[in-house]
Structure formats: structure tokens, C-alpha cells
Amino acid sequence: MKTKFTLTLVMLLALASTKMFAQDKGLTVGLGLEGGLPIGSFANGYNFGGGATLRLAYNLDETSAITATTGAIAFLPKKVTGVDMKAQLNIPIKVGYKYMLSDVIYGLGESGFTIARVYMPTITGTTGGVTSVSSTQFTYSVGVGAKLGAFDPSIRYEGYSGTGFLGLRLGFNF
């Protein structure tokens, strides 16, 4: 509940402040819908994920920018007979570098950390209870995207602790 409130507050503040950010042509704010397809050992327990991200980009010149990305991506578990698995929530906090390869196509590399919260059923005598365990992991991502006016689609590999996911982001920049 506290995580949902915090993420909602961050997104609302970002939306409310876009007019302020728009005055500085060097800084752009982007909101994105995320989709994720787990690969490696992550795919053993989870089918797919979805969420939203906020990305700030400070343009150094016409071809490069420094980025900062955060948000939340929830991964839904596979059904395993006899096991009541719950969702995993990933909150990435990354900084990186974006380079325009052409007028439209860009490459992006980011690193930072992800707070991963795994939800699971309570093992004690209560039924229907859910508990969670959090961990923090080094995160890196590399991808390509397209700058189509304000529309900003991209695809990336995001990895941590020997596993990761293939991510699709449909972003809109202010």
C-alpha cells in the first residue's frame, strides 16, 4: 500500500511539474508504459510483466543526453501445481546515457539498482495472508529506441543477478 501511494505521488508530481520542466529545453520528462518478458532463470517463475516508468533526459547537445529512470514493473507468476506464487514488483532506479544514432534512432545504456519485492503467501497458520521480501540488486540495461516527435518507443534488455527481462517501453515525452 505504501509503495502504491509513493509511486502514485511521484507520477502526479511529475505530471504537475511538466510545465516547469518544459521551460528548460535541455530537460525532457517522459512517461512510459512498460511490458516485460522474463528470460533466463527469471522465466522459470514468471510469465510477463507490466508497469509504468518516469524518465528524465538532460540533453547535452543535439546527439546525446544523460538519463534518469524510475518506476514500477510488476511480474505475474506462472501457475505451479501446489505452489501459491504471488507477483514480484521491481522498482528500478537507473542513470544512463542516450546517443542519437540517426535523426530518429537512438541507443541507450543505463545502470543503477532495482528494489525487488517478492510477494508470497504467509506460511504460518493463517490462511489468505500475504507477506513480502525485498532485495536490492545491481541493474543494467541496454537498448534502442525511436524519437518520433513526442512518441518514444524503445526495446531493451534489463539484467540483474544473472537474469533479466526483455522490455518494451511506449513512452511520451513532454
Span of 34-38, 113-117, 132-136, 169-173 with lowest mean pLDDT: 132-136
With residue 43 as reference, give the H or E element that holds it.
none
Q: Which positions ≥6 away from 127 have C-beta within 8 Å? A: none
What's the average model confidence in pLDDT over 72-93? 87
Domain ranges of the chain: 2-173
With residue 32 as reference, give the H or E element that holds it.
strand 27-39
Closest CA to 153 of 46, 50, 33, 29: 33
What is the average pLDDT value for the chain, to the nearest integer?
A: 86
34 has pLDDT over 50: yes
Residue 126's pLDDT band, with cuts at 50, 70 and 90, is: low
What pTM was computed for the model? 0.81
Would you call 120 exposed, middle or buried from its count of C-beta atoms within 10 A (0-12, 13-18, 19+)?
middle
Contact 92, 75 (CB under 8 A): no
Q: Supply the CATH classification number for the domain 2-173.
A: 2.40.160.20
